[in-house]
Amino acid sequence: MPSSPYQHISKIMDLIVNINPNSVLDIGTGFGKYGLLCREYLELWDGRQNYDKFLRRIDGVEAFESYITPLHKFVYDNLYTRDISKLADNLDFSYDLVLLIDVLEHFDKAEGRSLLTKILARNKGVLISTPKYPSNQKDAFNNIYEIHRARWTKQEISRLYSNTAYDDNDDDTDSNNGIKAAFFLRDMTHLITYIGRRENINKLKRRLLLRQIKKVPGTSYFIPKAVRFMKSVGLFTVFLISCCQGGLYIQNYLLTG
């Protein structure tokens, strides 16, 4: 369908807002929901209070032209009405974030591997959401692109990013930060993962972990007092090491699947 489960909107948008991309490519726009949400929460919430001047580049790809509405033309800077398998080699822009939201299951394994390899090699990151157990969907809405063709596993996706070649000429990376890594969210029905540079993923995990910690009642009161006490008795270094070790464990438990 030209849609995706509403239950995942908050999880996916939470990742996008924390990644904070300046450019987005939304592959398989469907109804245009995630393009609209990106435009709203990356633009209207940036403090400028400017309703009609967008600064970020948000492009879309939708192979089925019957899905296109005036909404798409308002939301997306560029809208490509072509099969992404044929378009990928001709895109001359490197995006901060590529969205594949309920899209990957519509490709067979060979096509999907080829597409993901190209996306990972040419862009800074990709956010994937795909059902763990896709339904036996045929050509819904008279659209052959709606057919479910493959079920993807965490192991298959992990192999793809670990084997992807990387452009070392990118100005924003060095030999360590250019290494691709993945961050999987816990979810009962879908594989939701962000694949990007290791440095960016580590930053994303720290932001999400900090927010989880702030939800604990009394945290904002007790942590500053604990830090001041540890400094006063000369145990602050030990405290930091313990927090780092414990934080890694908590981070993996709370955030990853």
Instruction: Specify whether domain 6-204 bears CATH 3.40.50.150.
Output: yes
178 vs 96, more confident: 96
Task: Give the sheet arrangement for strand 97-101, strand by strand.
Answer: 78-80, 57-61, 23-27, 97-101, 125-131, 190-197, 180-185
Q: Output the CA–CA distances (angstroms, integers) from residue 138 to 17, 86, 106, in the order listed.
A: 33, 22, 10
Give me the phi and psi of 148, to 5 degrees please. Answer: -80, 125
Q: Supply the pLDDT for residue 255.
A: 52
d(CA 164, CA 85) in angstroms, rounded, equals 17
Residues 6+ apart with CB under 8 A from 36: 71, 75
Residue ranges covered by each domain of the chain: 6-204, 216-255
Mean pLDDT on 210-220: 73
The residue type of 52 is D
Lowest mean pLDDT of 19-28, 77-86, 228-237, name the range: 228-237
